[in-house]
Amino acid sequence: MAGMMLFVDAGALIARHRESDDHHRDALRGWRDIESRRKQVFTSNLVLVEAARFLSRISGNARAAERLRIWLSSEQLVVLRPDREIELEAADLLEKYADQQIGFIDCISFVLMRRRRINAVFGFDRHFRSAGFKLWPAGR
């Protein structure tokens, strides 16, 4: 992880707070590593929307709002926000990856990552690997 820029996907945010998630232990280990190194990581506002929506469904709005406040006020988690140009480029990727059923939020993440030269993602979604990114930690 040293020197590596890392993008955080919704799966890593959700799995950290959902003990029944298959990736819960991996998420806890990953977050501990990030926090202990005081590593700055990136995500997008849309990834936060996706994670909060899921947490609202399983834990209620109060819990989701609590997590959102923590994520949005974190100095380690930099929240990127796409503009129209990024959204249009993501729409092109949505069409390109149509056969793989990759969603629009993931396509926006791909564009944000490429523009920031971020080549690894803390998450569990194989679509990132299909788009040429590394899943972190390695071996997943």
Q: Which of 53, 34, 50, 19 is nearest to 122 (CA)?
A: 34
Give per-residue pLDDT as tens, 80-132: 999 999 999 999 999 999 999 899 999 999 999 999 999 999 999 899 999 99
Strand 41-44's sheet: what is its strand order? 77-80, 41-44, 6-8, 120-122, 134-136
Distance between CA atoms of residues 85 and 19, nearest Å: 38
The answer to whether position 85 is within a domain reads yes
**CATH for 99:** 3.40.50.1010
The answer to whether position 140 is within a domain reads no
pLDDT value of residue 140: 44
The answer to whether position 1 is within a domain reads no
8 A C-beta contact, residue 112 and residue 128? no
Residue 2: pLDDT band by 50, 70, 90 thresholds? Answer: low
What range does the domain containing 95 cover? 6-135
pLDDT value of residue 39: 84
Give per-residue pLDDT as tens, 5-39: 999 999 999 999 888 889 899 999 999 999 898 88
Q: What are phi and psi of 43, to 5 degrees?
A: -150, -170
Residue 138: pLDDT band by 50, 70, 90 thresholds? Answer: low
Ordered alpha helix ranges (H), 6-135: 10-17, 24-36, 45-59, 61-73, 84-96, 104-116, 126-130
Token digits of residue 39: 């590593």
Q: Indicate the number of domains in the chain.
A: 1
What type of residue is 79? V
Three-class SS of residue 43? strand
Q: Does the pTM exceed 0.95?
A: no
Give per-residue pLDDT as tens, 62-89: 999 999 999 999 999 999 999 999 999 9
